[in-house]
């Protein structure tokens, strides 16, 4: 790749030079010494984080043509060098009603008072503490810390159902790895499922492996699925199940015989 050879690159967004490589550990110490004194400790931390954000570069993929490119941490958007598509890089913090579609390589934080009505949210990682009405896909991790119904489809590389979460998913949840620390009802399709101590899952699971730790609870059917099939499922969402699930992803919510929470 062209970036591998380069010692530094220019950000398409702000024109700043940045190293295409991750900062070395030794750099951190020097940075702290150089940081100017600030009155409040929170602002020191803020400046420190800003600094790191500026230094950090990441490789992102075009939503349209999948071409990868490197962007610096402060960029809020970029243009795909291959197909010229606009790529949103912003982080979203949703603290009240919000219903526009989100498609970003940044993160989404839906706070406790937030109400995310968007039919589709695509992001890197998401922290869900409020009401989520539509579908959510995270390239990385979806952390759910919410109590209530989740009517939309959730898919992510990794899903964490936090300790205080108590969720009732109407649609199948898809992920490579799912960790359940709180309570969840709904169907899961995954590579690995871990139900931790005090975690509880009620619903059917199709997975390559499931671990129920001591003190964890699982009630539902378990189908040990083939890993390659799982992977295909994750990549091609609309592909109907070969194995056993008769309904498609678009079956009405009412038809799902899910137990009440």
Which residues sit at the interface with Zn ion, rule CB under 5 A? 11, 13-14, 16, 62, 64-65, 67, 72, 74-75, 80, 82-83, 85
Which residue's CB is nearer to Zn ion, number 13 or number 191? 13
Q: Smallest Cα–Cα separation from 56: which of 44, 46, 70, 36?
A: 70
Which residue number, 74 or 191, has a Cβ lying nearer to Zn ion?
Answer: 74
For residue 86, the minimal CB distance to Zn ion (Å) is 10
Could you tell me the smallest distance in angstroms from the CB atom of residue 155 to Zn ion?
A: 22
Provide the β-strand partners of residue 160: 143, 179
Structure tokens at 233: 């499922």
With respect to Zn ion, which residue has the nearer C-beta, 62 or 121? 62
Nearer to Zn ion by Cβ, of 80 and 161: the residue is 80
Tell me the closest approach of the beta carbon of residue 61 to Zn ion, in angstroms.
9
Q: Are 162 and 143 in contact (CB under 8 A)?
A: yes
Least distance to Zn ion, CB of residue 17, Å: 9
State how beta strands 9-10 and 17-18 pair.
antiparallel
90 or 163: CB nearest Zn ion: 90
Burial of 66 (C-beta count, 10 Å sphere; 0-12/13-18/19+): exposed
Could you tell me the smallest distance in angstroms from the CB atom of residue 247 to Zn ion?
Answer: 34
In the bound state with Zn ion, the residue whose beta carbon lies nearer, of 10 and 38, is 10
Query: Closest distance between Zn ion and the C-beta of residue 67, in Å?
Result: 5
* Residue whose C-alpha is closest to residue 157's, from 186, 122, 185: 122
DSSP 104: B
Is residue 185 within 8 Å of 257, Cβ to Cβ?
A: no
Query: Toward Zn ion, which CB reaches closer, 14 or 38?
Result: 14
Q: Which one, of 222, 215, 152, 141, lies nearest residue 181 by Cα?
A: 215
Give the length of the chain: 261
Query: What are the φ/ψ torsions at residue 228 (nearest 5 degrees)?
Result: -65, -35
Token pair 């609870």 is found at: 217
**Nearest distance, CB of residue 3 and Zn ion, angstroms:** 15
């Amino acid at each position: 790749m062209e970036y591998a050879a380069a010692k530094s690159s220019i950000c398409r967004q702000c024109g700043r030079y940045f190293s295409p490589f991750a900062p070395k550990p030794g750099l951190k110490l020097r940075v702290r010494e150089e940081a100017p004194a600030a009155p409040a400790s929170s602002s020191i931390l803020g400046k420190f984080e800003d600094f790191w954000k500026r230094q950090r570069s990441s490789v992102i993929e075009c939503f349209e043509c999948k071409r990868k490119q490197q962007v610096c941490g402060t960029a809020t958007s970029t243009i795909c060098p291959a197909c010229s598509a606009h790529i949103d890089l912003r982080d979203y913090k949703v603290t009240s009603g919000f219903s526009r579609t989100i498609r970003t390589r940044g993160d989404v934080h839906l706070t406790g008072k937030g109400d995310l009505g968007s039919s589709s949210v695509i992001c890197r990682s998401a922290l869900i503490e409020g009401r989520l009405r539509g579908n959510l896909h995270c390239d990385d991790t979806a952390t759910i810390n919410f109590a209530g119904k989740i009517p939309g489809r959730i898919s992510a590389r990794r899903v964490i159902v936090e300790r205080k979460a108590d969720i009732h998913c109407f649609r199948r949840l898809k992920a490579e790895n799912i960790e359940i620390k709180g309570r969840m009802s709904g169907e899961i399709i995954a590579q690995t499922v871990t139900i931790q101590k005090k975690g509880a899952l009620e619903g059917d699971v199709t997975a390559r492996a499931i671990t129920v730790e001591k003190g964890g609870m699982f009630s539902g059917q378990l189908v040990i699925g083939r890993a390659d099939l799982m992977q295909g499922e994750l990549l091609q969402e609309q592909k109907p199940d070969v194995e056993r699930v008769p309904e498609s992803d678009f079956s009405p919510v009412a038809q799902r015989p899910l137990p009440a929470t």
